A and B are shown apart, each in its own frame.
Chain A
Amino acid sequence: MSLIEQRLAWARLARSGRGPALRIALLATYTIDPLTPYLGMALEAAGLPAEIRVGPFDQIAIQCLDPASETAAYRPDVLVVHPRLEDLWAGLPTPLAGPSEPYAEAASTYASAAVEAGARWGATVVFVLPAVPDLRPLGVGDAGNAAGVFATANAVRETLRRHLAGRAGVLIADMEAELRAIGTEAAEAPALWATARIPYAEAAFARLGAQLARLIALSRLPARKVVAVDADGTLWGGVVGEDGPDGVVLGDRGPGAAHVAFQRYLLALREAGVLLVLASKNEEADVWAAFARPEMVLKREHLADWRIGWNPKSESLMAMAETLRLGLESFCLIDDNPAELAEVGARCPQVAGLLMPADPAGWRQALSAERALDRLPPTAEDRARPQSYAQERERAAIREALTPEAYLAALGLSVRITEAAEPDLPRLAQLVAKTNQFNLTCRRRDAAALAALVGSPGAIVRLASARDRFGDYGVVGAAIALETPDGATLDTFLLSCRAMGRGIERAMLADLQARSAQRGFGPLVAAIETHPRNEPARRFFAELGATDTPGPLAECAWPVHLAIHEEVSA
């Protein structure tokens, strides 16, 4: 859709009087109204219909802090705050020789006000880091001035980032990224600034809207955690079945270098917790022979799983989803062949298919534009995930040799269940957003909503971590009970799929029932809810006598094979 079509489509949508939507408030030091259609349409495309309200011009602090402000009364789900340094610095001399701190003061005040408002309103805060102003009193000389405009702007930006990064319920966007992408000359609108305090051209608003929508979607929808790649034409140039393992193109110059660079990119994804899998139409021996080439930086042990054979790729992906115990909606497939992507798209529409351009040198740029690969900064559990799948393969080896009881005993499993606290919020929010299969209620709350429950007198929020002789699972389970007039209701009960079926769910429920009694909430009441993929949770609760109408749960005993570990592992 062209920019003007997006604008018109949004005008029609906004007038259509459609149903409930995400409520978004925009506050800026400038006229931010032109952002509305682009943010709205990008959210619409991401499956998050939104209603957008623009707060009064240049009133960020007062709108955030005054409980009677228009923005407070609107009760937004998401608060977008965008101060521009040009506006914040209006009363100061252009940075030239002094310290940077005074230039950060107003920006930091706005950031604190936004965080405070977000916490009070239960809203997710999206703070847009201001771009570096295009002011150069020294012209090219600014680059050599450690107290100049660019240097000062960067200092302020990093102060803001440090202040905000990692906070529950706060997302950070960056205007500089969009100015870099289109260039300041194309991004600025001097005539609109002079007449209406609109600093940016449509193209810049369109890009900012798309970035914000990607970020908001990322915080509300589960992220993809598996990247499937092809081998021929992807990891290397050429076809190993025809060219032979020594004939495929790999190297540090020419097309081979682009394939190696792509492998490095895959390894960076893996560092951040993405599982890499291979789906290749080949003879398996040929593929591993090519993997043995010294130019390969991606090694076989980096792969969480693989399917190499002649069956359709959709079947390979379905089989790997089964082995990894993940849904297909967790998968991306990167391929240079449109026919393969079409086959997968037809049979596994949940998979995000990413078609790469013919020249592998352009792949990194193509991939950075893909929403499917966006990720929030990883938690410790995310980073450990690829390793944990390797451990899982070792567990599978002993499972095959033993009876189920002997297998559980042989794992040497221990569990630690604790009350959730503020530092746990990112992982808790992630579990709540992502867990589908062992999730009784599939109630999705963002970090801000969860923060309101943690430590509240009417709620018990428990987190379970586990480990065994093969490795640490990290925090894998969460349970929330809410006090009611005659007991407690089971609001959330979920367990990461890779920890299912080992008794951890029983331990969690036994713990929650004990906590509920201890806190004086009384008996725990639950109902089985049917969601598209939560059959494992339904089956577990049905065994405990739960039905689809709320009723008390049978007392659950702590499984004998499970030890309790107290200390927190690294």
Chain B
Amino acid sequence: MRLENLFADILGVEPGALSEASSPDTIDGWDSLMGINLIMAMQEAYGVQFSTDEITTMWSLGDARRSLAAKGVSA
């Protein structure tokens, strides 16, 4: 599953409404709990584990994509 589609499903928005810069500042309903929802969904969907550091520094969709890429996941 493409990362923007996963984010769109969890956030309840159209994939087209998302960009690499999408973050809690730009998307309604993306609060801290939703952020954790996204982390848990990524861990489940791509079979990865994020460290405490990665979780606390991941802010935007672009950040998430880079963290995944660092784990060898291109999504």
**Cα of A31 to Cα of B40 in the assembled complex, Å:** 13
Task: Identify which of residues 21-62 in chain B touch chain A, using a CB-to-CB cut-off of 8 Å.
Answer: 32-33, 36-37, 39-41, 43-45, 49-52, 54-56
A17 to B48, CA, bound (A): 33
Contact A191/B49 with A11-B12, A33-B33 known, Cβ cut-off 8 Å? yes
B49→A8 contact, CB < 8 A: no
Give residues 504-547 of A contacting B (CB, 8 Å): none
A192 and B10 form a contact (CB under 8 A): no
Known A4-B45, A196-B32; contact A191-B40, beta-carbon cutoff 8 A: no
**Pair A11/B9 contact, Cβ less than 8 Å:** yes
Question: Which residues of chain B are within 8 angstroms of A8 by Cβ–Cβ distance?
Answer: 9-10, 41
Q: Give Cα A2 to B43, complex, Å.
A: 13
Judge whether A7 is part of the interface by a CB distance below 8 angstroms: yes
**In the complex the two chains form, what is the Cα distance from A42 to B45 in whole Å?**
20
- Residue of A at shortest CB range from B42? A4
Q: How many residues belonging to B are interface residues under a CB distance threshold of 8 Å?
A: 21
A22 within 8 A of B: no
Contact B51 A7 (CB under 8 A): no
Structural contact, A202 and B56, CB atoms closer than 8 A = no
C-alpha gap A349/B38 in the complex (Å)? 40
Complex Cα distance A12/B54, Å? 28
Given the complex, which residues of B lie within 8 Å of A198, measured CB to CB? 36, 40
Give the contacting residue for A196; candidates B1, B36, B54; CB below 8 A.
B36
Mark A1-30 against chain B: 1 for CB-CB distance below 8 A, else 0.
Answer: 011100110011001000000000000000
**Complex contact B55–A191 (CB within 8 A):** yes
Which chain B residues border A191 with CB–CB below 8 Å? 49-52, 54-55
Q: A192-B36, A195-B52 are in contact. Are A4 and B12 (CB under 8 A)?
A: no
Contact of B39 among A3, A7, A33, A192 (CB under 8 A): A192
Residue in chain B with minimal CB distance to A54: B33
Instruction: Tell whether A194 pairs with B52 under 8 Å between CB atoms, given A7-B44, A11-B9, A202-B44.
Output: yes
Residues of A within 8 A of B32 (CB): 196
- Chain A contact patch, size range: 10 to 19
The residue on B at minimum CB distance from A3 is B44
Is the Cβ of B55 less than 8 Å from the Cβ of A192? yes
CB-CB under 8 A from B56, the residues of chain A are 195
Q: Is the CB of A195 within 8 A of B12?
A: no
Contact between B52 and A202 (Cβ–Cβ < 8 Å)? Answer: no
In the complex, chain B residues whose CB is within 8 Å of the CB of A4? 1, 41, 44-45
Query: Smallest CB-CB separation from B36: which chain A residue?
Result: A196
Quick check: is A551 within 8 A (CB to CB) of the other chain?
no
Query: Could you tell me which residues of chain A, from 151 to 208, have a CB within 8 Å of some CB in chain B?
Result: 190-192, 194-196, 198, 202
C-alpha spacing A296/B40, complex, angstroms: 51
Whether A15 pairs with B12 at a CB distance below 8 angstroms is: yes
Q: Which residues of A contact B12 (CB under 8 A)?
A: 11, 15
Closest to B49 in A: A191
Interface residues, chain B, with chain A CB atoms under 8 Å away: 1, 9-10, 12, 32-33, 36-37, 39-41, 43-45, 49-52, 54-56
- Between A and B, 16 residue pairs with Cβ closer than 8 Å are A2-B44, A8-B41, A12-B9, A15-B12, A33-B37, A34-B40, A190-B52, A191-B49, A192-B40, A194-B52, A195-B36, A195-B52, A196-B32, A196-B33, A198-B36, A198-B40
Task: Show the binding face of A for B, using Cβ within 8 Å.
Answer: 2-4, 7-8, 11-12, 15, 31, 33-34, 190-192, 194-196, 198, 202
Q: Please provide the 3 A-B residue pairs with the shortest distance between their CB atoms, ordered closest to farther.
A: A4-B44, A196-B36, A195-B55
User: 19 other contacts beyond A7-B40, A34-B40, with CB at 8 A cut-off?
Assistant: A4-B44, A7-B10, A7-B41, A8-B9, A8-B10, A8-B41, A11-B10, A31-B36, A33-B36, A34-B37, A190-B52, A191-B50, A191-B55, A192-B39, A192-B55, A196-B55, A202-B40, A202-B43, A202-B44
